[in-house]
Structure 1
């Protein structure tokens, strides 16, 4: 049994095995995802078919789904995550990415000003030719993106624990990605006037 990083396992389930598509095709596109069906929906399907429909991963595999059993077990565990964590885990697994913890939308180049609020200008022969720029970071957007990253990381860590001993071919390891990569060197510089100390920038 191979020891595999949980991030790689989830990526494999959603990008290689396309487990969400396989489960969706077997269940039918009109049927809500596992764990989100109301009791009324279950009764309607029972009335229409005359039998209770088993929607467990083993049933899906028995129906001839091509995704491996381990991918179905991973998908079932991911479906039990809280909605925000579920969305982040699946979106980044499909994209082969990680949540940005210092997004470009948080950064901007702005005109530099003096103490009186006047824009600093570069002049040539007393004529202004350009204004000086400085780098600014919006602390609220940085804080939000880093909170999203931690939700994603904690969800993967919880999945690794839940799936331990549940998979046939793999033993899931906790995520190798740093929980707080912004604390690793090199630290990002943010001007003091924006109220973010260096070690949390």
Structure 2
């Protein structure tokens, strides 16, 4: 005989409607508008919209979208294996708390999928940050070996005795690497701007502003090109 374990609330525990779903802070509620970078961060870091990308899709649809199928059928072979392993089956007819994602977050993810460098926006949105490393270094080169950091460096002689000394150095960052980092920042900003434009064509119920982040912050800092 297979026993049934009923899911849902625990005995003697009262559940209210407000407890069914965790409160979702919507960054546009106070002013009716939101910066596109803040909206992307909310969608990926707070709503974790990428975890719901395959919800409700058939395995064939998931594969066609270039995503990896996850989960399994509730009445498939894996469920039968679970019954054999536990000696019981789970009754999901009771009240359950389910994860949910806001529709605005789903729209953000769907639009980013068709924007060049949209993955870069999603990556930094998950972290709640921006591309870094675009600043011009205070020192282009540093000593290979320090005796005291940025004060005394280890020196070597070119020969024996009182031969001249020299200090070997290595670059802190090459100009090519700095240029690449700045290009990454530009691509990130352009993708954000494209997202704001596409969202402006949708009826969202609030206004999405263009990125407030500077397009080329090194120009504002007077650093010029790498």
- Flag whether TM exceeds 0.5 (same fold): yes
Query: When the two structures are superposed, what TM-score results if normalisation uses the length of structure 1?
Result: 0.60
| 1:81 maps onto 2:115 in alignment | yes
Q: Is the 8 A contact 1:34 1:79 kept in 2?
A: no
Q: Distance in 1 between matches of 2:136 and 2:56?
A: 40
Q: Secondary structure at the match of 1:179?
A: coil
Among residues 208, 217, 222, which one is paired with 1:181 in the alignment? Answer: 217
* In 2, Cα distance between equivalents of 1:180 and 1:167: 30
Compute the displacement of 1:30 (Å): 7.8
Q: How many matched pairs? A: 152
Deviations 1:21-73 (A, max 9, x none): 12224337885477548xxxxxxxxxxxxxxxxxxxxxxxxxx8711111111
TM-score, structure 2 length as denominator? 0.54
Answer yes or no: is 1:22 the counterpart of 2:52. yes
More helix by percentage: 1
Q: Who is 1:66 aligned against?
A: 100
RMSD: 3.9
User: Aligned partners of 2:221 and 2:118: how far apart in 1?
Assistant: 30
The farther-off stretch of 147-156 and 158-167 is 158-167
Q: Which residue of 2 aligns with 1:114?
A: none
Corresponding residue for residue 41 of structure 2: 11
Distance 2:36 2:63 in 1: 23
Deviations 1:117-154 (A, max 9, x none): xx99499xx89999486865301101111111111100
Gaps of 5+ in 2: 1-30, 68-97, 145-152
- Where 1:137 maps in the other structure, the secondary structure is coil
For the pair shown, the structure with the greater C-alpha radius of gyration is 2
1:19–1:67 Cα contact (<8 Å) kept: yes
Which residue does the alignment assign to 1:92? 124
Q: Please give the alpha-carbon distance, in whole angstroms, between the structure 2 residues aligned to 1:172 and 1:33.
A: 32
Distance 1:144 1:66, change over 3 A: same
